[in-house]
């Protein structure tokens, strides 16, 4: 099960203000197929290029059969 958190949903709205829209599908794709993953404690940072100049960074935690971002 994938659960997109409130903070991520807020970021979707903020990015729209700058004419840079990110979808839930892109977030899940970054988590499932990242180009790089860093780990800090219980949090993971998945990084995936969007284009030549931009990358999507997703902070998430894995908790008992759930993924929180």
**Reduced 3-state DSSP string for 28-58:** HHHHHCCCEEEEECCEEEEEEECCCCCEEEE
Q: In total, how many domains does the chain have?
A: 1
Q: What is residue 34's DSSP assignment?
A: -
Tally of CB atoms within 10 A around 41: 6
State the pTM of this model. Answer: 0.77
Q: Could you read off the pLDDT of 22-47 as tens digits, one per residue?
A: 888 999 899 999 999 999 998 999 99
Share of the chain above pLDDT 70, in %: 87
Please report which confidence band the pLDDT of residue 69 belongs to, taking 50, 70 and 90 as the band edges. low
CA–CA dist 41, 21 (Å, integer): 29
- Structural domain harbouring 17: 2-68
CA–CA dist 58, 19 (Å, integer): 19
Query: Helices (DSSP H) in 18-61: which residue ranges?
Result: 24-32
């Amino acid at each position: 099960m994938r659960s997109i958190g409130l903070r991520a949903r807020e970021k979707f709205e903020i990015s729209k203000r700058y004419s840079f829209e990110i979808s839930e599908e892109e977030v899940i794709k970054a988590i499932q197929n990242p180009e790089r993953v860093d780990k800090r404690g219980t949090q993971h940072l998945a990084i995936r290029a969007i284009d030549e100049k931009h990358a999507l960074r997703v902070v998430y935690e894995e908790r008992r059969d759930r993924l929180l971002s």
